[in-house]
Chain A
Amino acid sequence: MSDDRVSAFRFFPGCLARTKLPHIEASVRLVLESLGIGLEDDTRFTCCPDPVVFRSSSRGDWLGLAARNLSLDSEKPIVTLCPGCASSLSEARHLLSEDPEARADAGARLKKLGLDLRLPSIWHFLKVLFDEERMKDIEAGVTRRLEGLKVACHYGCHLTRPSDAVDFDDPEKPRCLDELVALVGAESVQYEDKYLCCGRPSMDEATSTGILERKLSAMKQAGAQAIVLACPFCFEQFDVGQTLLERKTGKKFGLPVFYVSQLICLSMGRAASEVGLDMHKVKAGGIAGIE
């Protein structure tokens, strides 16, 4: 038991979950609160901004906006439900710590807003959960083990990369999702291309759907009944993207998607409606006793 465990954070809402997936945000808050973790909100947080599209317009602007989010007069650690936000803010933080030129450029921007550069620590919520004591707490809170449920864990990319800035789990073979899935009694099936990207951030549709189809086929072939992940963009790709892909190709995958926090909530006895499973495109009803 370490005394330096962080137990109070500012909650960073991101963009996609904030605007389109509030049920996922609700499930993440429920899990963190059930572990006694205090969350503060700050409406001044804007988009991280995203490390893919926004940064493609201007790296300097990306760094400036990220520096603003980091520097809103508090050193209190930031927790987010999105690997894109965690990775983007961590990379900005890393650059601002290591690169004097980047620091000077962002500093000049912050000065226009009357802000001094701050570098609070950045956490994806899985980094908060993936801790020996907290894993025990989660296990102790499980009232309904999801026995018999076979899931395909999908890690995506930004949860652990770039590893020099993110510093979480293994950048090539992460295991946090597999361990959490085991904790709630479900089985993580091994499948080919498990560590492959979901395809969503590619701005070329054929590349994006080609990757998606490969992933879904491999998951299906391995006997998965559902997908477990922890990224809003991967979620959209596998939920909405799967529906569109089925319509376009006539193939049937039928793999419902769970945010890992939703799965934990269900195992802790929460109702499907509390975590918004009815809002998913691919319905989860009927598997592992889920309504």
Chain B
Amino acid sequence: MYTVGSATNRDIDSIGGRELARLCYSCGICVGDCPAARFSEDFNPRQIFLKVCLGIGEELVGRDSPIWKCTTCYTCYERCPAGVKPLDVIIALRNLSFRAGTSPEGVSGIRRSVIETGVAGALTRRAIELREKMGLPSAKPGDAKELGLITDYE
């Protein structure tokens, strides 16, 4: 079973998340033009890095965590003067949440679709017909079965 607490810190370390967050000196430039911070009440990248750094980020990998509000726009990534790579920290937290079974439902669905069929989202009959009508090549990816051989958690 997945445990939080020290395991969280160790796992964040293992993905390099805390290493990155330690570089943060709380200047707040990541918050300034952050779309998710501007359009929601509880998403604040600076606070996320501080919690990760202090090892008190357990709730960040729990259910309904604000980490899923991030739009992955990379504005913070471009501007961070300390080289935190804020998005990498958030992705590390999301990975832990997925492993703990607390990520939003859509994540495992899209993951399964990609690994089992090669594409995210169903290739419907309508799409196949439309592609033919527009003279586009077949959209069915080949060799999709092999994807299961190179992924970790199934």
Give residues in A with beta carbon < 8 Å to B. Answer: 13, 15-16, 18-20, 22-23, 25-26, 29, 41, 43-47, 49-61, 64-65, 68, 109-110, 112-113, 157-158, 161-163, 171-172, 196-197, 199-204, 206-208, 210-211, 214, 276, 279
Contact = CB atoms under 8 A, between A and B. Distances in A.
A41 B74 CA distance: 30
A47 B73 CA distance: 20
18 contacts: A16-B120, A19-B121, A43-B140, A43-B141, A49-B114, A52-B72, A54-B111, A58-B111, A59-B15, A61-B151, A61-B153, A64-B150, A112-B149, A113-B146, A113-B149, A202-B36, A204-B69, A206-B40
B39 A207 contact: yes
Contacts of B131: 22
A45 to B, nearest CB: 6
B70 interface: yes
Given A56-B103, A161-B78, A201 B72 contact: yes
A206 B35 CA distance: 12
B50 interface: no
Given A58-B95, A201-B71, 9 more contacts: A15-B114, A18-B123, A53-B110, A56-B94, A56-B103, A113-B150, A163-B78, A202-B69, A210-B40
A197 B74 CA distance: 10
Nearest to A161: B74
Contacts of A44: 141-143
B139 A13 contact: yes
B107 A65 contact: no
How many of chain B's residues touch chain A, expressed as a range? 35 or more
Contact of B141 (A16, A46, A202, A279): A46
* Central interface residue in A44, A112, A207, by most chain B CB within 10 Å: A207
Contacts of A61: 150-153
A274 B131 CA distance: 12
Interface of B: 15, 35-36, 39-40, 43, 68-75, 77-78, 87, 91-92, 94-95, 98, 103-104, 106-108, 110-111, 114, 118-124, 127, 130-131, 134-144, 146-147, 149-153
Contact of B134 (A18, A22, A204): A22
Nearest to A212: B39
Contact of A157 (B73, B91, B94, B120): B73
Q: Which 9 pairs across A and B sit closest by C-beta, in order of nearness? A: A161-B74, A46-B118, A210-B39, A56-B94, A109-B150, A157-B73, A203-B68, A204-B69, A197-B73
Contacts of A50: 110, 114, 120
Nearest to B87: A162
B146 A47 contact: no
Contacts of B74: 157-158, 161-162, 171
A162 B77 contact: yes
A47 B15 CA distance: 23
Nearest to B144: A46
Contacts of A19: 119, 121-124, 127, 139
A207 B136 contact: no
A109 B151 CA distance: 8
Contacts of B104: 203
A53 B120 contact: yes
Contact of B153 (A58, A158, A171): A58
Nearest to B124: A19
B79 to A, nearest CB: 8
B71 A157 contact: yes
A18 B114 CA distance: 13
B141 A25 contact: no
A204 B70 CA distance: 8
